[in-house]
Amino acid sequence: MCQSPYRESNRTRGRQAVVCFLFIALGLGFGVFPAWAHKVTIFAWVEGDTVYTQSKFSGGKKVKKGTIVVYDKEGNQLLEGKTDDKGAFSFKVPKKTTLKVALKASMGHFAEWTIPEKEIAGVADSAGSRTRGGDVQVPTQQAASLTEQKATDEDSVAKAVGLSRGEIQTLIDGSLDRKLAPVLTMLSEAVDSGPSMSDVIGGIGYIVGLVGVGLYFTARDKRKDAR
> Using CB under 8 A as the criterion, which residues of the chain lie in contact with another protein when the complex forms?
1-2, 13-14, 16-18, 20-22, 24-26, 28-29, 32-33, 35-40, 57-59, 61, 64, 104-112, 194-195, 199-200, 202-204, 206-208, 210-211, 214-215, 218-219, 221-222
Distance (Å, whole) CA 16 – CA 19: 5
Shortest Å distance, C-beta 111 to another protein: 7
Shortest Å distance, C-beta 134 to another protein: 29
By beta-carbon proximity to another protein, the closer residue of 8 and 153 is 8
Helix, strand, coil % over all residues of the chain, rounded to 5:
50, 20, 30
Helix or strand (DSSP H, E) at 55: strand 50-57
Which residue, among 60, 62, 42, has the nearest Cα to 52 in the 3D structure? 42
By beta-carbon proximity to another protein, the closer residue of 109 and 165 is 109
Shortest Å distance, C-beta 30 to another protein: 8
Which residue, among 214, 164, 198, 191, has the nearest Cα to 40 in the 3D structure? 191
Shortest Å distance, C-beta 166 to another protein: 41
By beta-carbon proximity to another protein, the closer residue of 74 and 225 is 225
Look at residue 105 and give its three-state secondary structure.
strand
By beta-carbon proximity to another protein, the closer residue of 103 and 124 is 103
Distance (Å, whole) CA 227 – CA 224: 5
